[in-house]
């Protein structure tokens, strides 16, 4: 394999420039509409997979920052594709329309279901995705795991026609992605003989609890469950987290080191991300489309930015005394121009402990290591993350 996993230490001076140009207000609705269409046209996050014509249709119905108006506009366009899907006689045509509807409903609740309209859009997104999943071969199983009087809902998909038990990736979504988007990404792992269990981050999607410093208990319970499934090789489970999900993956690499063969941490918040001075500077970063603060408040179940800023330092893995302890093997992925998770946090994770780390750092990349041209999310997954996972899961199988 090519020597891709090298830290490019240059470009750290970017952070000073980023801090100097930090925004102090969120985008106006006109700015949001312009930026959303631009991202749809280039396939940039979070408009990945949304057709520009559909984006233009939805945005033409929006005239304010009201969350229910946003949800209604995207849902109205999505409804047309749900109707087409249900009326289609060709299964492939129906599936294509279910996918198109799912992505539009999902964007209607973006970045989090903070209103009744957005919550309704989120539920429609889940329903549309599960309609899409009916066409999967091998099938997708919706799993319900009891948890403190509630339940953890996850998507389990295992490759067919391979020897059992199979290796598996526990895939955790981020602040504004969902287990549905993660499950769609991990479709690419199935031909590699690898299964996945996709699950939401705490405070998002169908997670049974809000985020706090002990919410990783959700994933320990998931690992307990996976160990009961005879089709899954409990000795070959790896975790991958994206953005906020990478925080949980990094924590699990420490707390569940004995049950994981590796952890992929893609732009992992570790310590500085949670410090008041940094968070104040990132609250209105233009790298994020809009409403980073409302989404963060929703995830933690808090009411004000001041309350959130006072709480966040508890999330630091350094403050929790985890850094430096034994871990599962870790791959760190990110970009030096990330304005949401500073390169300091990635370096801190890489330089803590005694086990060697591997890293792929894009010196011109933003959050998740992405750039719109050469390194969009699907390319990073296909060329960097999945090969690392295949290598580590297969190496465990080959070990005596």
CA 80, distance to chain mean position in Å, is: 27
CB-based burial label for 12 (10 Å; 0-12, 13-18, 19+) = middle
Strand-pairing partners, residue 150, are 147
Question: Which pair of structure tokens corresponds to residue 23?
Answer: 């925004």
Mean pLDDT for the stretch of residues 109-129: 98
Residue 188 — very low, low, confident or very high, per pLDDT cuts 50/70/90?
very high
Is residue 166 predicted with pLDDT exceeding 60?
yes
The two tokens of residue 324 are 């430096």
- Rounded Cα gap, residues 47 and 266, in angstroms: 19
- Please say if the pLDDT value at position 6 is more than 70: no
Backbone phi, then psi, for 138, in 5-degree steps? Answer: -70, 160
pTM: 0.93
Q: Is 348 helix (H, G, I), strand (E, B) or coil?
A: helix
pLDDT digits (tens, 9 = 90+) for 234-273: 999 999 999 999 999 999 999 999 999 999 999 999 999 9
**Residue range 321-378, pLDDT digits in tens:** 999 999 999 999 999 999 999 999 999 999 998 888 999 999 999 999 999 889 999 9
Buried b (16+ CB within 10 A) or exposed e, 191-215: ebbbbbbbbbbbbbbbbbbebebeb
Please state, in angstroms and rounded to a whole number, the distance separating the CA atoms of residues 55 and 107.
Answer: 10
- Written as one string, the DSSP assignment of 247-263 is HHHHHHHHHTTTT-SEE
Residue 325 to residues 214, 380, 392, Cα–Cα distance (Å)? 17, 29, 21
Distance CA 106, CA 113 (A): 10
Give the residue carrying structure tokens 């953890």: 152
pLDDT score of 398 more than 80: no
| Whether residue 138 has a cis bond before it, omega within 30° of 0 | yes
Are 173 and 245 within 8 A, CB to CB?
A: yes
Question: Residue 46: is the preceding peptide bond cis (ω within 30°)?
Answer: yes
Structure-block tokens of residue 377: 């999310």
Task: Give which of 215, 227, 256 is closest to 239, Cα–Cα.
Answer: 256
CA distances from 124 to 76, 103, 173 (A): 11, 10, 19
**All domains of the chain in start order, with CATH:** 14-28+138-398 (3.40.50.1820)
Split at pLDDT 50, 70, 90, the class of 19 is very low
Tokens of 362: 């894009």
Q: What is the pLDDT of residue 15?
A: 37
What's the mean per-residue pLDDT of the chain? 93
372 vs 74, higher pLDDT = 74
First-last CA distance in the chain: 23
**pLDDT mean over 368-394:** 95
Q: Could you tell me if 72 and 66 are in contact, meaning their C-beta atoms sit under 8 angstroms apart?
A: no
Q: What is the pLDDT of residue 5?
A: 40
- CA proximity to 290, closest of 17, 65, 78, 129: 65
Q: What is the pLDDT of residue 3?
A: 35
pLDDT for the residue numbered 275: 98
pLDDT, position 353: 87
Nearest-angstrom CA–CA distance, 302 and 280: 16
Q: Which residues 6+ apart lie within 8 Å of 396 measured at CB?
A: 167, 235, 236, 261
Report the alpha-carbon distance of residue 164 to residue 161 in Å, rounded: 9
Q: How many angstroms from the chain centroid is the CA of residue 88?
A: 32
* pLDDT at position 2 over 80: no
Give the CA diameter of the chain: 63
| CA angle in degrees (0–180, nearest 5) for 107-110-111 | 150
Q: Which helix (H) or strand (E) holds 361?
A: strand 358-362
* Chain-centroid distance, C-alpha 147: 22
Specify the 3-state DSSP secondary structure of 145: strand
At residue 13, the pLDDT reads 35
């Amino acid at each position: 394999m090519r020597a891709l996993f090298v830290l490019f230490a240059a470009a750290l001076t970017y952070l000073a420039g980023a801090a100097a140009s930090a925004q102090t207000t969120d985008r106006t609705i006109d700015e949001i509409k312009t930026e959303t269409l631009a991202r749809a046209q280039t396939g940039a996050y979070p408009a990945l997979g949304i057709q520009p014509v559909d984006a233009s249709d939805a945005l033409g119905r929006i005239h304010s920052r009201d969350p229910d108006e946003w949800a209604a506009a995207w849902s109205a366009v999505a409804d047309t594709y749900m109707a087409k899907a249900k009326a289609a006689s060709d299964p492939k045509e129906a599936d294509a329309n279910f996918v198109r509807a799912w992505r539009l409903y999902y964007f209607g609740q973006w970045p989090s279901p903070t209103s009744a309209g957005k919550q309704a859009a989120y539920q429609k997104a889940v329903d549309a995705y599960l309609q899409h999943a009916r066409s999967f071969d091998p099938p997708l199983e919706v799993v319900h795991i009891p948890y403190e009087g509630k339940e953890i809902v996850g998507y389990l998909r295992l490759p067919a026609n391979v020897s059992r038990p199979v290796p598996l990736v526990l895939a955790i979504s981020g602040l504004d992605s969902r287990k549905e988007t993660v499950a769609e990404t991990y479709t690419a792992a199935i031909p590699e003989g690898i299964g996945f269990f996709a699950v939401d981050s705490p405070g998002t999607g169908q997670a049974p609890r809000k985020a706090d410093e002990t919410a990783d208990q959700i994933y320990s319970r998931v690992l307990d469950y996976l160990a009961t499934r005879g089709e899954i090789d409990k000795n070959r489970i790896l975790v991958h987290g994206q953005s906020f999900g990478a925080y949980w993956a990094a924590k699990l690499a420490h707390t569940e080191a004995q049950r994981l063969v590796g952890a992929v941490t893609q732009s992992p918040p570790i310590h500085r991300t949670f410090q008041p001075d940094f968070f104040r500077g990132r609250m209105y970063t233009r790298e994020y489309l809009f409403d980073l603060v409302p989404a963060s408040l929703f995830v933690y179940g808090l009411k004000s930015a001041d309350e959130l800023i006072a709480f966040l330092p508890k999330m630091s893995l350094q403050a929790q005394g985890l850094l430096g302890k034994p871990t599962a093997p870790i791959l760190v992925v990110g970009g030096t121009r990330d304005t949401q998770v500073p390169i300091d946090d990635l370096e801190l994770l890489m330089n803590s402990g005694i086990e060697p780390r591997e890293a792929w750092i894009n010196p011109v990349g933003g959050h998740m290591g992405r750039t719109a041209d050469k390194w969009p999310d699907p390319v990073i997954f296909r060329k960097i993350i999945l090969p690392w996972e295949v290598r580590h899961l297969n190496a465990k199988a080959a070990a005596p």
